């Protein structure tokens, strides 16, 4: 679908509907059939996997600034567990690498 103001609006509305469905869906499903452990494991693993599936190609196709930035974020998260600090570390690393290279 080519990007126009109208299709962008449509895409945003669709995203909003999909998200709202997930918000109310769990309660609706639960009122009929309880969610089993297998489905729960699928959803839990999928939640992280979709992020991995976005991040890995970013690293594979990005420049070294982007790669080192991601690495800095990973390191900062593992040590400090503070997302905002980790994101700032990633940005600073990418900016610094590009400044020096």
Q: Which of residues 57-76 bind another protein (CB under 8 A)?
A: 57-62, 65-66, 69-70, 73-74
Considering only residues 6, 64, 87, 101, which one is a binding residue for another protein as defined by CB under 8 A? 87
Considering only residues 6, 37, 100, 101, which one is a binding residue for another protein as defined by CB under 8 A? 37
- CA dist 95 → 68, 71, 73 (Å): 10, 14, 13
- Please report whether residue 27 would count as binding another protein according to CB under 8 A: yes
| Closest distance of CB 10 from another protein, Å | 8
| Neighbour-count burial for 23-53, b at 16+ CB within 10 Å, e otherwise | eeeeeeeeeeeeeeeeeeeeeeeeeeeeeee
Extract the tokens encoding 24: 């109310």
- Please report whether residue 79 would count as binding another protein according to CB under 8 A: no
- Please report whether residue 43 would count as binding another protein according to CB under 8 A: yes
- Please report whether residue 15 would count as binding another protein according to CB under 8 A: yes
């Amino acid at each position: 679908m080519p990007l126009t103001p109208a299709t962008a609006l449509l895409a945003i509305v669709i995203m909003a509907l999909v998200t709202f469905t997930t918000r109310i869906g769990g309660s609706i499903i639960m009122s009929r059939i309880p969610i089993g452990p297998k489905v729960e494991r699928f959803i839990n693993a999928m939640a992280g996997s979709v992020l991995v599936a976005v991040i890995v190609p970013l690293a594979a196709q990005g420049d070294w600034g982007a790669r080192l930035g991601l690495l800095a974020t990973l390191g900062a998260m593992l040590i400090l567990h503070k997302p905002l600090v980790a994101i700032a570390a990633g940005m600073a690393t990418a900016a610094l690498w590009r400044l020096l290279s």
